[in-house]
Amino acid sequence: MYALPAAPPPAPRRQLVVGVSLACAAGATLMGGMLALFLRFRQATLAVPDSEWKPAASKVPEVATNIMLISFAVIFVMVQWSVYAARRGHKSYVALSLGLTALFSLAIINGQAFTYTQMRLPIRTGTYETMFYALTGTFLALMVIGMIFTLVVAFRHLGGRDGDREIVTAHAIFWYFMGAVYTALWFVIYVTK
């Protein structure tokens, strides 16, 4: 047994922030890989003259998809507000901002469901349809994870663990990542189609 010099308690290493950042990096390659295959098939399809990638009969409800993008901008403000308020010990503002984050994330999920009903794409008919549902379905799964994360942070804060500011920061990082994911989806699937 060796006697090494003891050190003072280590400074917090922001474990949750690092962990969530790594998870976001993994999520980025998940969605990036799927989008790359989507683009590859789109390019191959469009290279054939007179071919159709997105069924012409299916219209993208652009208002809903744009509102979803704008909702992410609102979520960015909310999560940053929660970080700001948590640093200053404003418990009620943290709760309010997290609540609004949950509300807007619910609105985005609702927007995606609305998009499904408006586009009326039968999943069994072709490449575009299966890839569309796989991509947006994975995005929805990540949204649900984000909502659960928001609720966990909110309950921890309301439950009195308001000194734990790191989780609020990690939560904000996750939503920035989700915003980036949706921006990529929005551009590739809903704008350039």
Partner 1 sequence: MTTIDPHVAGHGASAVASERTGDRRGVLTSVADWITSTDHKKIGRLFVGTSLLVLLAVAAIGALLGAERIDATSDFIDAGALPQLFSAYRVLLTFGVVVPLGLGLAISVVPLQLGARSLAFPRLAMAGFWGWLVGAILVIVSIAANGGPGGGNSNMVDLFLAAHVLVVAGLVAAAGALATTVLTTRAPGMNMRRVPLFSWSALVYAIGLLLALPVLAGTLILLYVDHRYARTTFGGNTGLSGWAGFAFTQPATVLYAVPVFGLLLETVATATRKRLPMRGIGLTGIGLVGTAFLAGVAQVEASLPRNILDMSFGTAVQDIIPYLLLNGLPLLGAVVTLLVFLRAAAGRPRVLSPMVFSFFGAGMVLVGLLGNAVYRVGDAQLAGTVFEEGAWIYVCYGTVLAAMGGVVYWGPKLWGRVITDVKALPLALLGVLATILASLPYYVAGFAKQPANATQFDYSGPQNLWNILATVGHGLMLLTVLAFIGLAVTSFRKGEFAGDDPWDGQTLEWATSSPAPFSNFAEVHTVASAEPLLDLKPSRTEGNA
Report the residue number, 47 or 92, with the smaller CB distance to partner 1.
47
Q: How far apart are alpha carbons 136 and 118 in whole angstroms?
A: 14
Which tokens hold the place of 173?
């990082």
Report the residue number, 43 or 89, with the smaller CB distance to partner 1.
43
Return the amino acid letter for 160: G
In the list 43, 127, 164, 193, the residue contacting partner 1 (rule: CB under 8 A) is 127
Q: How far apart are alpha carbons 12 and 166 in whole angstroms?
A: 10
Binding range to partner 1, per CB under 8 A, among 14-22, 52-60, 82-90, 104-112: 14-22
Contact in structure between 48 and 130 (CB atoms under 8 Å): no
130 binds partner 1 (CB under 8 A): yes
Q: Annotate each residue in 22-61 with x if it binds partner 1 (CB under 8 A) or - if it does not, as one string.
A: xx-xxx-xxxxxx-xx---x--------------------
Phi-psi region of 85 (alpha: psi -120 to 50; beta: other; left: phi over 0): alpha
Minimum distance from residue 193 beta carbon to partner 1 (Å):
18
Report the residue number, 10 or 160, with the smaller CB distance to partner 1.
10
Intra-chain end-to-end CA distance of the chain, in Å: 66
Rounded (10°) CA dihedral 122, 69, 81, 93? -50
Q: How far apart are alpha carbons 74 and 80 in whole angstroms?
A: 10
Report the residue number, 110 or 127, with the smaller CB distance to partner 1.
127
Minimum distance from residue 133 beta carbon to partner 1 (Å):
6
Query: Which residues here bind partner 1, judged by CB under 8 A?
Result: 1-10, 13-15, 18-19, 22-23, 25-27, 29-34, 36-37, 41, 123-127, 129-131, 133-134, 137-138
